[in-house]
Structures are given as structure tokens and as C-alpha cells.
Amino acid sequence: MRKKIVAGNWKMNLDYQEGVSLFSEIAHMVKDEVYGQQEVVVCSPYIHLYALAELSKGIDRISVGAENLYQEEAGAYTGEISAKQIKSTGASYVIVGHSERRAYFGETNEVLAQKIDVALKFQLKPIYCVGETKEERESEQYFEVIREQLQKGVFHLSAEAFAQVVLAYEPVWAIGTGLTASPEQAQEVHAYIRKCVAEKYDETLANDTTILYGGSCNPKNAPDLFSQADIDGGLIGGASLKSRDFTDIVKVFN
Ligand code: PGA
């Protein structure tokens, strides 16, 4: 059975102390209340990673991830953070290709492919995000957009390397807007993504691939979304900043 994952994405929120305190609350709740097989990942700003990774020690199902990384291994890239540096904090995941990175920082599928490679080289598991804009949905181009994001971003990988990747479908129009994709809309795309993986690799690998949904996911809509056949959990923005909301989403899999 493929892994179920609920991942938080704090984005550029919380100072150091606030982050440590939120993570401590989440970790306690996970320890006391979560009894399923689901994995919890908290993706935070770089400044929190080491402290959160230390706090996560000894709690089985919780791990820590970064929200981005730089595509080069090391060198004169003032202000950037490498995969090796992230790995050295104790983090084990990294989000690659979030739509905010694509839109505000001009990250192309080609650059994202490099980020995927360097993440895997340093044993970080990428959470690779794909998703269409409102215009692309309305003009019914979303399947093509998503196929291209997959082809250029991750389908250059060997099957062995691809097996380390978690995918996340995040329709841009649903992120931070309160407009969630309906369970049927999300399921349609998740099934399509799984089909693309099966065509590129094989059915077994497609069936083993964890595909998360992201975009205004909350404790109310998570049960319907997560009960869809091809939705294996969520990538949670706003609701991951409240310990109760976040763990209630995690507990959908209890
Ligand atoms: P949201 O963000 O849950 O606030 O919509 C999701 C994301 O951007 O990953």
C-alpha cells in the first residue's frame, strides 16, 4: 500500500519562537492522538529546520521538510540554501515547484528538474507540486499543463529515483483562496496523474506513488477529499498554522 501523508507548508510565516512552539504542540498531538499509518511532515522556513528536526526525534511518524532549495550543490550563490545544508539539519523532505515559486520566482520546469536531482542526490524526498491556473482550468488545458509539468520536472528520473518522489496536485486557483477543488475535480486530476506515471513507468510504480491534494484543504473538507481513490493525503497551507486544525486533518486517516 502506498503511503498516506499529511504535510504542512508554513510558507513565510512564524518567527523562530512561534515555529518551535507550534511544532511542539503538533508533535504532542500527533504522539497522543494519531494511531493510523499516516506520516506527518511539517515543511517550514529554513530557520526552523534544525530545531524542529531535533524536536521530532523519538516521535515515529513526524518528519520535517524545507519549502525550497537551490539547484546547485554549493558555491557563490549568496543567500541560497543547498540540499546538503538542508539534509544536515535533520530534515528529510523538500517541497519543489510550489506554484508560488513558479509564479513569483520564475522557476521553470527545467530548473525544477535540477532541484529534484540535487534533492535526491542528498537523500531528500521531494514533494513535487503541479497544478493549473484558473485560466488554464477554464480553457480546459489543465491536463496538458500538468502532463508537461510532470514530463519536464520528474519524468527524466529512473524508476528507482522516481519512487522517492511524492507528488502534490495543487490547483493554483484553490491555493489560499478558500476555493477548494471538489472531491470529484481533485479525483479526476489525481487519476490522470497516476495514469501519466503508469504510462511513463509502470502500473506498480503508479500504484505506489503518493499523490497529495493541496488548496484550501481544512478539517471540514479533508474527509471527502481523502476518501477519493487516488488522493493519498494533503499539502496544507493556511490550516497548518493552527495545531488543532492541522492535526484534525491528519486524524482523518485514523
Ligand atoms: P492553502 O495552501 O492550504 O493555504 O490553500 C496550500 C499550499 O499552498 O500548499
From 43, 175, 177, the mutation candidate for ligand 1 (largest count of ligand atoms within 8 A of CB) is: 175
Residue with cell 508533535: 27
Retrieve residue 99's grid coordinates. Answer: 506554484
Per-residue pLDDT tens for 131-173? 999 999 999 999 999 999 999 999 999 999 999 999 999 999 9
Distance (angstroms) between ligand 1 centre and the Cα of 220 equals 15
Whose Cα sits closest to atom 6 in ligand 1? 237
Whose Cα sits closest to atom 2 in ligand 1? 237
Q: Is the CB of 9 under 6 A from ligand 1?
A: yes
Q: Is the CB of 39 under 6 A from ligand 1?
A: no
Predicted confidence band at 217 (pLDDT cuts at 50, 70, 90)? very high
Q: Are strands 166-169 and 211-214 parallel, antiparallel or unpaired?
A: parallel
What pLDDT is attached to residue 60? 85
Q: Is the CB of 233 under 6 A from ligand 1?
A: no
What pLDDT is attached to residue 80? 98
Question: Residue 185 half-sphere exposure, CB side, CA atoms within 13 Å?
Answer: 17
pTM metric for this prediction: 0.98
Residues serving a catalytic function are 98, 170
Question: Residue 103 half-sphere exposure, CB side, CA atoms within 13 Å?
Answer: 12
Per-residue pLDDT tens for 77-97? 999 999 999 999 999 999 999
Q: Is the CB of 238 under 6 A from ligand 1?
A: yes
From 99, 172, 177, 217, the mutation candidate for ligand 1 (largest count of ligand atoms within 8 A of CB) is: 217
Q: Is the CB of 245 under 6 A from ligand 1?
A: no
DSSP string, the chain: -PPPEEEEE--S---HHHHHHHHHHHHHHHHHH--SS-EEEEEE-GGGHHHHHHHHTT-TTEEEEES---SSSSSS-TT---HHHHHHTT--EEEE--HHHHHHS---HHHHHHHHHHHHHTTPEEEEEE---HHHHHTT-HHHHHHHHHHHHTTTS-HHHHTTPEEEE--GGGTTTS-PPPHHHHHHHHHHHHHHHHHHS-HHHHHH--EEEESS--TTTHHHHHTSTT--EEEESGGGGSHHHHHHHHGGG-
Domains in the chain, please, with CATH? 5-253 (3.20.20.70)
Q: Is the CB of 235 under 6 A from ligand 1?
A: yes
Average the pLDDT over 47-56 and give the result: 98
What pLDDT is attached to residue 178? 87
pLDDT higher than threshold 90 for residue 204:
yes
Distance (angstroms) between ligand 1 centre and the Cα of 181 equals 12
Q: What is the mean pLDDT of the chain?
A: 97
Q: Are strands 39-44 and 166-169 parallel, antiparallel or unpaired?
A: unpaired
Are the C-beta atoms of 241 and 13 separated by less than 8 Å?
yes
Q: Which residues contact 81 (CB under 8 A, 6 or more apart)?
A: 46, 66, 68, 69, 70
Q: Which residues contact 225 (CB under 8 A, 6 or more apart)?
A: 180, 183, 186, 213, 217, 231, 234
CA distance 240 to 25: 12
Residue 75 CA: distances (Å) to CA of 11, 72, 80, 126: 25, 8, 10, 22
Nearest-atom number in ligand 1 for the CA of 168 is 9
Any idea how long the chain is? 254
Whose Cα sits closest to atom 3 in ligand 1? 237
pLDDT higher than threshold 90 for residue 216:
yes
Residue 95 CA: distances (Å) to CA of 99, 101, 224: 11, 10, 24
Distance (angstroms) between ligand 1 centre and the Cα of 84 equals 26
For a pLDDT cut of 90, what percent of the chain falls above it?
96
Whose Cα sits closest to atom 1 in ligand 1? 237
- Phi–psi pair at 65, nearest 5 degrees: -140, 160
pLDDT higher than threshold 90 for residue 15:
yes
Q: Is the CB of 216 under 6 A from ligand 1?
A: yes
